[in-house]
Amino acid sequence: MVPFKIYDNEEVALETVDQTELDALYTDAAVDFIADAADTDDPFFLYFAHNFPHEPLYAAAENEGRSDAGLYGDIVEGLDDGIGRIVDELEATGQLDNTIIIVTSDNGPWFQGDPGDHRGRKGSISEGGQLVPFLVHWPAGLEGGRTVDTMAMGTDILPTLLDWIDIPAPTDRILDGTSMVAALEGTDDAVSDYYYYYAGKKLLAVSDGQYKYYAQQPHLYGVSGAGFAAPFSKGPWLFDLEADPSEAYDVLAKHPEVAADLAAELERRLAETDENPRGWN
């Protein structure tokens, strides 16, 4: 990315940046913040949003060739090291056990990276564009060593943290998410009744955790070597994400009642947001 400056609030901290050093710059700042927080008795919040492994890709010199997954893999190795440095600093300052650590991402992989056995990539409402790693570490408040097999969404993080640290939710606006506390603590099997898949402001699909309903919409069909992709209007579709996580087989004809219920919820949600687009109470 050119030009690339580093800002500290509204001030330019670095006029030019060697982008192979970005990982270290960001991680150093995070570690320093944690060290400073240890000198006070106040709670702290660190939101560490890295631009890697988004393109353009730059690996630190010491990580070049480190991974069998090429440059992308080298960068992920460096990110993993950075998280390790943050954890080490929390431990060294006696804050690790009572700090909630969440590691996640905003979307599935773009042209590189592995979406697993899932349809779609970044920019798609298919599962390959939506499913991301989600790890929570909080020894003082959460039993570790478990995998929680339930659907949740990024919008659920805010109400979860508010719930855990006992801060009331704002009363002047509607929060889109639902607290994951019961699911993460093992007292409930689900987070929400429904999960919504948006593209910008357009609601295109809705799921109940097992079934996922797509309204009729354009889908692009690209041909390797061609300089274009053809749009086709497809759907509505219904996928059973438990039996068919790759969303390969439409089962709407087999479960028309499920599709009708999810279609009704999609229309209800659309009407709700059309009536109150800003989400104020």
Please check whether residue 51 lies inside any domain of the structure.
no
pLDDT exceeds 90 at position 1:
no
pLDDT recorded at residue 80: 96
Please check whether residue 38 lies inside any domain of the structure.
no
Q: What is the CATH number of the domain that holds 252?
A: 3.30.1120.10
Q: What is the pLDDT of residues 16-57, one digit of tens each?
A: 999 999 999 999 999 999 999 999 989 999 999 998 999 999
Report, as an integer, the average pLDDT of 102-122.
Answer: 94
Please check whether residue 261 lies inside any domain of the structure.
yes
% of the chain with per-residue pLDDT over 70: 100
Q: What is the pLDDT of residues 160-184, one digit of tens each?
A: 999 999 999 999 999 999 999 999 9
pLDDT exceeds 90 at position 13:
yes
Please check whether residue 133 lies inside any domain of the structure.
no
Burial class (CB in 10 A: 0-12, 13-18, 19+), 223: exposed
Contact 127, 141 (CB under 8 A): no
pLDDT recorded at residue 219: 87
Q: What domain range includes position 204?
A: 194-281
The total number of structural domains that make up the chain: 1
Residue-by-residue DSSP string for 93-107: TT-STT--EEEE-SS
pLDDT recorded at residue 41: 82
Neighbours of 69 (CB within 10 A): 14
Q: What is the pLDDT of residues 84-101, one digit of tens each?
A: 999 999 999 999 999 999
Q: How many residues does the chain have?
A: 281
Cα-to-chain-centroid distance, residue 231: 27
Residue-by-residue DSSP string for 1-19: --S--EEETTEEEESS--G
CA distance 3 to 17: 9
Cα-to-chain-centroid distance, residue 278: 23
Phi, psi of 70 (to 5 degrees): 70, -160
CA distances from 278 to 82, 119, 159, 170, 268 (A): 37, 32, 18, 14, 16
Please check whether residue 251 lies inside any domain of the structure.
yes
pLDDT recorded at residue 4: 85
pLDDT exceeds 90 at position 66:
yes
In which band, very low, low, confident or very high, does the pLDDT at 274 lie, cut at 50, 70 and 90? very high
Q: What is the pLDDT of residues 213-244, one digit of tens each?
A: 999 999 888 889 988 889 899 999 999 999 99
Please check whether residue 264 lies inside any domain of the structure.
yes
CA distance 281 to 95: 37
Q: What does the H/E/C string look like for 232-273? A: EEECCEEEECCCCCCCCCCCCCCCHHHHHHHHHHHHHHHHHH
Report, as an integer, the average pLDDT of 62-75.
Answer: 96
Please check whether residue 203 lies inside any domain of the structure.
yes
pLDDT recorded at residue 200: 87
pLDDT recorded at residue 81: 97
Please check whether residue 40 lies inside any domain of the structure.
no
